[in-house]
Structure 1
Amino acid sequence: MPRATNGPASRHRRNSRLKLARGFKGARSKLFRTATEAVDRAQAMAYVHRKHKKRDFRRLWTVRINAACRMDGISYSRFIDGLNKCEIKLNRKMLSEIAIHDPAGFTKVVETAKAKVC
């Protein structure tokens, strides 16, 4: 009886890992061990950075809202406090979009928040 190896499965495993490493420079896309290390790190960083993206966008929205609030003569923290007291339920993403695309509407929201804070 001929000796049976796990050749097809091993080749598939190696090729699929090398396929994930396409686009990497040099040995990282050619050699199996190096490619495996590079792919493992890339996947770990992709997981971490998906979490960071949420954090980064929230910071961006906060900065935009703060800039728009300062133009209307109120600080960001007082504005958010006023919104909470008025029970206006707008998230930061929508507030930043309103501030960019509808400054007059944002000013009305700010005035409403100012009335509750001061």
Structure 2
Amino acid sequence: MNWHRICDLDLLIPECGLPALVGEHPVALFRTGDGELFAVGNVDPFSGAGVISRGIVGDRAGEPTVASPMLKQVFSLRTGRCLDDPDVRLPTYPVRSRESAVEIGVA
């Protein structure tokens, strides 16, 4: 696994997404209100648009989620699974904070 520095942690605003291109992988990076970090694919599998980073961050029954701004499907930030259509999912990526920087791991 290769780790890629994306940004300083203080630039990642809670409840807002940040798009990044890690190699050939379009990624959406999120920091929840309680400080958890998540990285999922940025391409909406229903529309094909790179918009997941602009989605609405929330939760369903304690599961952190993002709703696509295109067609409003909701995805788990932990697993990438679409909660509205379980056969569809976003890729997920390991993410960590090191020395006040946010890094995403890509194989």
Which structure carries more relative contact order (alpha carbon 8 Å, separation 6+)?
2
Q: For the pair shown, which has the larger CA radius of gyration, 1 or 2?
A: 1
More helix per residue: 1 or 2? 1
Question: Taking structure 2 as the reference length, what is the TM-score of the superposition?
Answer: 0.22
TM-score by length of 1: 0.21
